[in-house]
């Protein structure tokens, strides 16, 4: 739906700074649209498909942002990171100002696909256990993967503080020390705790896929991110 907003409000909504700061930058002639400087911050502009240049950098207006990040190890998913830098450090600083947050959590030492957004209902839907969006992980184990390990993870293992055993949606051996495991829930340290409960130990963990959205198809190098299109977001479903 097309929406008209004043230019200072547009820049503020995209996380560039306070409305006052944005108005000053506009008055200084630092903002252009279609190659022409717009120095009146109150001019009303259609945000639909809007592209603008600020400090010589081209930006596209997004009412909300939906981001896929290939998270490296040693970054924390919390907004108030304590022992390691937060994942927001891997994105342009505008995203932090517009309250972009991780959708769910990966442990600081887990790598792979992490969604981030500033759309509250989207974050809620993706994190809600009601929607059961499957998450696919590749776990490297300390001891060789046995048939019994795979069988136990498929059958269900009892974790402390859980009322009932938790089972993988699917699980298969993909290397001597590697399994691919699909989970429907997102409990705290779930893969690591399930592997420990099944008598092995997780030494490295990567999230490879959420719903039908795969890290491989996104082609993101570690630490890189991209916007998700509506078609890509439509892949974030149970089936």
* Residues designated catalytic: 107
- 12 in contact with ligand URA (CB under 6 A): no
Tell me 90's DSSP state. Answer: G
CA 217 to chain centroid, in Å, comes to 15
- 191 in contact with ligand URA (CB under 6 A): yes
Between 5 and 73, whose beta carbon lies closer to ligand URA?
Answer: 73
- 189 in contact with ligand URA (CB under 6 A): yes
Buried b (16+ CB within 10 A) or exposed e, 141-172: beeebeeebbebbbeebebeeeeeebbbeebe
- 22 in contact with ligand URA (CB under 6 A): no
| Residue whose pair of structure tokens reads 């719903």 in the numeric block | 211
Q: Which of residues 202-221 bind ligand URA (CB under 6 A)?
A: 205
Expressed in percent and rounded to 5, the helix, strand and coil fractions of the chain are 25, 30, 45
- 71 in contact with ligand URA (CB under 6 A): no
CB of 188 to ligand URA, least distance (A): 8
- 190 in contact with ligand URA (CB under 6 A): yes
Site string for ligand URA, 105-124 (x = CB under 6 A): -xx--x--------------
Using CB under 6 A, which of 9, 71, 111, 192 touches ligand URA?
192
Q: Residue 204 in 3-state DSSP?
A: strand
In whole angstroms, how far apart are CA 32 and each of 15, 26, 36, 190? 17, 9, 5, 48
Where does this chain bind ligand URA (CB under 6 A)? Answer: 106-107, 110, 189-192, 205
């Amino acid at each position: 739906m097309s929406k008209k907003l004043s230019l200072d409000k547009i820049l503020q909504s995209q996380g560039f700074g306070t409305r006052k700061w944005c108005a000053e930058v506009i008055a200084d002639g630092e903002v252009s649209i279609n190659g022409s400087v717009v120095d009146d911050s109150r001019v009303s502009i259609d945000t639909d498909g809007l592209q603008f240049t600020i400090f010589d950098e081209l930006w596209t207006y997004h009412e909300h942002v939906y981001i896929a990040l290939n998270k490296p190890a040693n970054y924390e998913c919390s907004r108030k990171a304590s022992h390691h830098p937060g994942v927001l450090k891997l994105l342009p600083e505008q995203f932090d100002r517009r309250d972009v947050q991780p959708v769910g959590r990966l442990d600081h030492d887990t790598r792979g696909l992490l969604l981030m957004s500033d759309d509250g209902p989207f974050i809620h839907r993706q994190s809600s256990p009601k929607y059961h969006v499957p998450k696919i992980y590749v776990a490297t184990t300390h001891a060789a993967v046995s048939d019994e390990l795979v069988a136990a993870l498929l059958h269900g293992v009892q974790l402390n503080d859980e009322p009932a055993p938790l089972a993988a949606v699917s699980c298969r051996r993909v290397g001597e020390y590697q399994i691919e495991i699909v989970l429907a829930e997102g409990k705290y340290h779930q893969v690591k705790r399930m592997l420990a409960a099944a008598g092995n130990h997780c030494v490295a963990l990567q999230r490879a896929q959420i719903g039908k959205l795969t890290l491989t198809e996104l082609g993101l190098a570690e630490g890189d991110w991209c916007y998700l299109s509506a078609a890509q977001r439509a892949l974030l479903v149970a089936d």
